[in-house]
């Protein structure tokens, strides 16, 4: 069991400026989700084979990395891009008349700020029902 401690993956989770993404989550496909330290450090013992890692943190875009574990400990640092939440509210265009229904699917859990801002925009419609499900 002790020799397994030297097989797996470790590294840092930061933003693109090198600031640690403290408490980021790193999910291992078909495995346990772990949490990085407040300094952005993570480590995970993994059996030999290919594994898909997914790192995400609030306000940052999710990043995936496939690693093949063999006989050594592998370092992989995640550099997560900032969510461009401001851009979302600047690109909303409304056309036509009548009831408007909009569904947005597939946004990472850390990138909801812009959607929340969009949901709170004042709309000049007679029938307005706009909300955000987190």
Q: What is the pLDDT of residues 63-103, one digit of tens each?
A: 999 999 998 899 999 999 988 654 444 445 555 566 656 65
Q: Can you give the pTM of this predicted structure?
A: 0.63
**Alpha carbons 119 and 101: distance in angstroms, whole number:** 12
Which residues pair with residue 29 across a beta bridge?
none
DSSP 99: -
What domains, with CATH codes, occur in the chain? 2-80 (2.60.40.1120), 83-134 (no CATH)
């Amino acid at each position: 069991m002790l020799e397994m401690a030297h097989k797996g993956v470790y590294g840092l989770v930061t933003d693109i400026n090198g600031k640690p993404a403290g408490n980021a989550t790193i999910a291992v496909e078909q495995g346990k989700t772990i949490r990085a330290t407040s300094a952005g450090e993570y480590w995970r013992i993994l059996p030999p084979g290919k594994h898909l890692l997914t790192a995400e943190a609030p306000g940052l875009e999710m990043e995936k990395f496939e690693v093949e574990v063999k006989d050594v400990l592998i370092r992989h640092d995640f550099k997560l891009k900032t969510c461009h939440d401001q851009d979302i509210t600047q690109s909303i265009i409304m056309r036509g008349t009548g009831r408007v229904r909009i569904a947005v699917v597939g946004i990472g859990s850390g990138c909801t700020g812009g959607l929340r801002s969009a949901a709170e925009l004042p709309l000049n419609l007679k029938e307005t029902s706009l909300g955000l499900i987190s």
